[in-house]
Chains A and B, each alone.
Chain A
């Protein structure tokens, strides 16, 4: 695959639309995706929710082309990604759940990796762009540090900075707030919203956290056991009558009262 050209706002729109058509995938005979259909509009934040093991992350890997589907198709701006040249035309980025930063490189090298490997800019320019993206995400004085020296929240923000360097038209987030404390989770959520406002990028966010989903989503898809249970706006999903959705959205820790010692 060749590197897509760096962003040129006049040549290509800043965001893309995504269509998923009849997507099916099995691993060792076990179906993980059982016919998924939905459409993501340009520039929106589309959240995919569902319990663990419902196939959300596998779906993301299909959208970015890391996994080939058994059946069905994924279209970006109407073009199937099964044709290799289509993936080269668009700038897509995935923010992994773990961050997936290269441990052998420092933060600055990680963020500038795309530009340096494809030789799109001079080393000085790459350092300037990477520093700029890190500062945009509120990360200062970490450029020389290695991923092993960063907290979970910092790693995720560095991963977002690395994705931003690509100037993506579609950015996918895999559980962006998992393993984070509530304050860091809010910061990440705000950054996703901020990116939409400033770059008009299309975002697909996979999460099982209700607060994040309700806070940032334009549309929400609910997945359960490899199928799409519902699709709609935040309000439509909140009011949905499906018992699994209702249970998932209203699950709360509610311990049974213990019998008192004197009783």
Chain B
């Protein structure tokens, strides 16, 4: 395990060192951005709509019973932007995009395409890893931003339509604006950028160390997704702890 962690750190460091070359690989970054956005935007929005809705549904009636229904906007707003949107989108992207990264690079490794690149003096980190990590680091925060907005809308919708809550859109969003600050949204976006780097690094690394045939690729994909999700959830706690220091 420690060897894997060490290798991942080295891979990330080499990718960071290669960042100035990203301009040369911009076409691959665009391709990856399209792949990630196209594959995930609709799913992210649907997921976020229901996450916002269920938070409102769970908390709204309890708050309404105690005469605190006006506070529901702030509660949904904060929990979606600081916690649920970044974590759930990261888990979604680990499953959809991380698995594809591990499978694609893994099959290239197994079928000697990575070796072929090396024999042509083409660095696999520059060619395969750099565009993927850059693309996921850009696209995940953007997806999270969408998810936050749609999640708030979902929460508002449930707050309006549910008869036990039954507040207006206006009072939902007035409270949300009162409670949620720009810093809270940035907090969530920062987390998502860190999660993106984790997903990219774990999945690309797992692809590059794939051995064996199709079974090896399958094993790598499973390990990549599971390790990414575990790391996201563990890191989420420590990131939250770290970010609390910057709050008033």
A96 within 8 Å of B (CB atoms) = yes
- Name A159's closest neighbour in chain B (CB-CB): B116
List residues 90-144 of chain B with CB under 8 A from any CB of chain A.
Answer: 104, 108, 111-113, 115-123, 127
Do A96 and B115 have beta carbons less than 8 Å apart? yes
A64 within 8 Å of B (CB atoms) = yes
Do A96 and B112 have beta carbons less than 8 Å apart? yes
A86 within 8 Å of B (CB atoms) = no
Do A118 and B119 have beta carbons less than 8 Å apart? no
What's the nearest-Cβ distance from chain A to residue B202, in Å?
22
Do B111 and A92 have beta carbons less than 8 Å apart? no
User: Cα distance A100–B124 when bound, in Å?
Assistant: 14
A114 within 8 Å of B (CB atoms) = yes
A103 within 8 Å of B (CB atoms) = yes
Do A114 and B120 have beta carbons less than 8 Å apart? yes
- Contact of A94 with B119 at beta-carbon distance under 8 Å, contacts A102-B108, A117-B127 already known: yes
B119 contact from A3, A88, A93, Cβ within 8 A: A93
A102 contact from B24, B113, B119, B123, Cβ within 8 A: B113
Q: For A61, list chain B residues within 8 Å (CB).
A: 115
- Name A110's closest neighbour in chain B (CB-CB): B116
User: Cα distance A87–B118 when bound, in Å?
Assistant: 11
A11 within 8 Å of B (CB atoms) = no
Q: For A199, list chain B residues within 8 Å (CB).
A: none
Do A2 and B119 have beta carbons less than 8 Å apart? no
Do B116 and A118 have beta carbons less than 8 Å apart? no
A4 within 8 Å of B (CB atoms) = yes
What's the nearest-Cβ distance from chain A to residue B183, in Å?
42
What's the nearest-Cβ distance from chain B to residue A158, in Å?
12
- Contact of A92 with B113 at beta-carbon distance under 8 Å, contacts A102-B108, A117-B127 already known: no
What's the nearest-Cβ distance from chain A to residue B140, in Å?
23
A20 within 8 Å of B (CB atoms) = no
Q: For A117, list chain B residues within 8 Å (CB).
A: 120, 122, 127
List residues 1-50 of chain A with CB under 8 A from any CB of chain B.
Answer: 1-4
- Name A172's closest neighbour in chain B (CB-CB): B119
- Interface bits A96-129 vs B (CB < 8 Å: 1, else 0): 1010111110000000011001110000000000
- Contact of A96 with B116 at beta-carbon distance under 8 Å, contacts A102-B108, A117-B127 already known: yes
User: Cα distance A94–B108 when bound, in Å?
Assistant: 16
- Name B108's closest neighbour in chain A (CB-CB): A102
User: Cα distance A87–B122 when bound, in Å?
Assistant: 13
Do A2 and B121 have beta carbons less than 8 Å apart? yes
User: Cα distance A3–B119 when bound, in Å?
Assistant: 11
B122 contact from A64, A65, A94, A113, Cβ within 8 A: A113
User: Cα distance A96–B118 when bound, in Å?
Assistant: 12
Do B121 and A98 have beta carbons less than 8 Å apart? no
A166 within 8 Å of B (CB atoms) = yes
B121 contact from A3, A96, A103, A162, Cβ within 8 A: A3
A251 within 8 Å of B (CB atoms) = no
A66 within 8 Å of B (CB atoms) = yes
What's the nearest-Cβ distance from chain B to residue A130, in Å?
13
Do B122 and A100 have beta carbons less than 8 Å apart? no
User: Cα distance A88–B120 when bound, in Å?
Assistant: 10
A100 contact from B24, B104, B111, Cβ within 8 A: B111
- Interface bits A43-86 vs B (CB < 8 Å: 1, else 0): 00000000000000000010011100000000000000000000
- Contact of A66 with B122 at beta-carbon distance under 8 Å, contacts A98-B112, A100-B111 already known: no
What's the nearest-Cβ distance from chain A to residue B3, in Å?
15
User: Cα distance A4–B120 when bound, in Å?
Assistant: 10
What's the nearest-Cβ distance from chain B to residue A57, in Å?
10
A66, A87, A88, A118 interface centre (most CB from chain B within 10 Å) = A66
User: Cα distance A96–B123 when bound, in Å?
Assistant: 18
Q: For A66, list chain B residues within 8 Å (CB).
A: 115, 118-119
Give the 6 A-B CB pairs with smallest separation, nearest first.
A100-B116, A100-B112, A114-B120, A94-B119, A1-B121, A117-B122
Other A-B pairs, 18, CB within 8 Å; known A3-B121, A101-B113: A1-B121, A1-B123, A4-B121, A88-B121, A93-B120, A94-B116, A96-B115, A98-B111, A100-B111, A100-B113, A100-B115, A101-B116, A102-B108, A114-B122, A117-B122, A117-B127, A162-B120, A166-B120
Q: Which residues of B contact A (CB under 8 A)?
A: 24, 104, 108, 111-113, 115-123, 127
